[in-house]
């Protein structure tokens, strides 16, 4: 069963072809990596998948549902969550508030029940808080729940972003460079966390530059170069693919 299917996805910014007829599929419960040199269009691809930018052409279907023209919040509601390359936390909110607000699309109490504090509202608030703590525990930030998010160290901010993504109860998580700027130990922890997410039944697509991570945890790799998919396959296939080597290291003379 394929969870995500991308067909001929194309995005042009004026004359620049950010991605050109990219197609791939992601199996449910798998970890997939998207790699490629800088400017290959990886983040643009993520932005198209999450509805932040509208693709010029092509189609994306998630669970056999067309999501190409949906707004970001509707896509999240269907079960796609993401993190950002340049961390985008709600910096002035506390750690737990960051995770609480992320359950927004899974909760529904309205204005009136908030004003009269009905029992359903109070139950929901309690559940939101409990779940938020669970998610924080998963990423190992439970002891920082009342810290202001912006004051967390870099690595913890990355993990908080993942907790926030999980809080939206997704089936597919898109991680944009989860280990960028991390030391080897932190990178190892992050790999463990990603595997844990997989065990929880989530499908994961990550953009990553650290080849140890890519080769270590992904089952399938898609290689982009200048917006075009140049290769796809298992880590061992990609390692010896001449096209990939050329894209990264240049042509042999």
Which region among 57-65, 115-123, 221-229, 244-252 touches another protein (by CB under 8 A)? Answer: 115-123
Residues constituting the chain: 253
The span from the CA of 80 to the CA of 181, in Å, is: 25
Contact between 82 and another protein per CB under 8 A: yes
CB distance 22 to 49 below 8 Å: no
Q: Look at the alpha carbons of 209, 213, 216, 220 in this order and tell me if their dihedral is positive or negative.
A: negative
Contact between 43 and another protein per CB under 8 A: no
Stretch 166-195: interaction string toward another protein, x if CB under 8 A = -xx---------------------------
Contact between 63 and another protein per CB under 8 A: no
The span from the CA of 40 to the CA of 16, in Å, is: 12
Write the CB contacts of 241 (distance below 8 Å, at least 6 apart in sequence).
223, 231, 233
Q: Which helix (H) or strand (E) holds 121?
A: helix 119-139
CB distance 82 to 173 below 8 Å: yes
The span from the CA of 128 to the CA of 207, in Å, is: 30
Tokens found for residue 90: 């709600």
Contact between 120 and another protein per CB under 8 A: no
State the minimum distance, in angstroms, from the CB of residue 77 to another protein. Answer: 6
- Binding another protein (rule: CB under 8 A), the pick from 8, 66, 73, 237 is 73
Contact between 246 and another protein per CB under 8 A: no
CB distance 197 to 204 below 8 Å: yes
What residues between 84 and 103 interact with another protein by CB under 8 A?
84, 88-93, 97, 100-103
Cβ-based nearer residue to another protein, 95 or 223:
95
Cβ-based nearer residue to another protein, 89 or 244:
89
Residue numbers of the site for another protein (CB under 8 A)? 50, 52, 71-73, 76-77, 81-82, 84, 88-93, 97, 100-107, 109-111, 114-115, 117, 121, 124-125, 128, 148, 150, 164-165, 167-168
């Amino acid at each position: 069963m394929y969870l995500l299917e991308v067909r001929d996805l194309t995005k042009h910014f004026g004359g620049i072809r950010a991605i050109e007829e990219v197609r791939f599929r992601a199996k449910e419960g798998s970890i997939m990596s998207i790699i490629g040199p800088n400017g290959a269009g990886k983040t643009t691809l993520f932005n198209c998948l999450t509805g932040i930018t509208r693709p010029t052409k092509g189609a994306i279907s998630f669970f056999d549902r067309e999501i190409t023209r949906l707004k970001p919040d509707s896509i999240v509601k269907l079960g796609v969550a993401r993190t950002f390359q340049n961390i985008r936390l709600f910096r002035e909110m506390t750690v737990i508030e960051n995770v609480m607000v992320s359950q927004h699309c899974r909760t529904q109490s309205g204005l009136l029940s908030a004003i009269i504090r009905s029992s359903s509202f109070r139950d929901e608030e309690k559940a939101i808080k409990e779940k938020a703590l669970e998610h924080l525990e998963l990423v190992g930030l439970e002891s920082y729940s009342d810290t202001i998010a912006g004051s967390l160290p870099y690595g913890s901010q990355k993990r908080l972003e993942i907790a926030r993504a999980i809080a939206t109860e997704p089936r597919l998580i898109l991680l944009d460079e989860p280990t960028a700027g991390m030391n080897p130990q932190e990178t190892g922890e992050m790999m463990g966390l990603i595997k844990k997410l997989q065990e929880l039944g989530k499908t994961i697509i990550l953009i990553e530059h650290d080849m140890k991570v890519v080769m270590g945890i992904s089952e399938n790799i898609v290689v982009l170069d200048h917006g075009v998919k140049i290769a796809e396959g298992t880590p061992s296939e990609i390692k010896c693919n001449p096209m990939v080597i050329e894209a990264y290291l240049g042509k042999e003379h």
